[in-house]
Structure 1
Amino acid sequence: MKIDGITNAQEFFKVVDSCKGHVELLTGEGDRLNLKSKLCQYISMTQLFSKSEELHLEIIASEEEDLQKICKYLMKYEDM
């Protein structure tokens, strides 16, 4: 699932932490960051909250229900 940007880190990472499987952030450079790791969460914040038009980020979840949970969260706050 591709993402454009996230405005509330605390809420987003609560959703990620509640996931059962692996959740990764795939950067435009091909790096994979484990979003369930607190260290990677801090590192990924610079990319997640970047306003760059050229930013290409993708969330990868190992469990379908986790992907649906993240998608539901993103759609909920996309309209705000």
Structure 2
Amino acid sequence: MKVMNITNVNGLFKIIDSCSGKVELVTNEGDRLNLKSKLSQYVALANVFTEGKIDEMELIAYEPEDIKKLLAFMYNGE
């Protein structure tokens, strides 16, 4: 799923931390970073974080309940 215009970056990573399964960031080069890892979260921030928001990033979640959590965050911003 593509996520766009995320201004609550801390909220996004809080949701990712609460996910039961793996959540990955797909980089522009096609690499996949496990966002449950704090190190990968910092790398993701360094690569896509500009002007206080994430303009666009592609996430892959494998568990249906995790997808629901991420979609709820995208729609509600919390």
TM range (shorter): 0.7 to 0.9
Identity, % of aligned positions: 49
RMSD of aligned alpha carbons? 1.8
Runs of 5+ consecutive residues of structure 1 not aligned to the other structure: none
- How many residue pairs end up in the alignment? 74
Matched ranges for 1:1-80 at <5 A:
1-50=1-50, 57-77=57-77
Relative contact order: is structure 1 or structure 2 higher (C-alpha 8 Å, sep ≥ 6)? 2
Higher strand share: 2
Query: Which aligned runs of 4 or more in structure 1 are off by greater than 4 angstroms?
Result: none
Tell me if the contact between 2:3 and 2:57 (Cα under 8 Å) persists in the aligned partners: yes
> How high is the TM-score relative to the length of structure 1?
0.79
Runs of 5+ consecutive residues of structure 2 not aligned to the other structure: none
> How high is the TM-score relative to the length of structure 2?
0.81
Tell me if the contact between 1:25 and 1:58 (Cα under 8 Å) persists in the aligned partners: yes
2:47 and 2:15 mapped to 1: Cα distance?
18
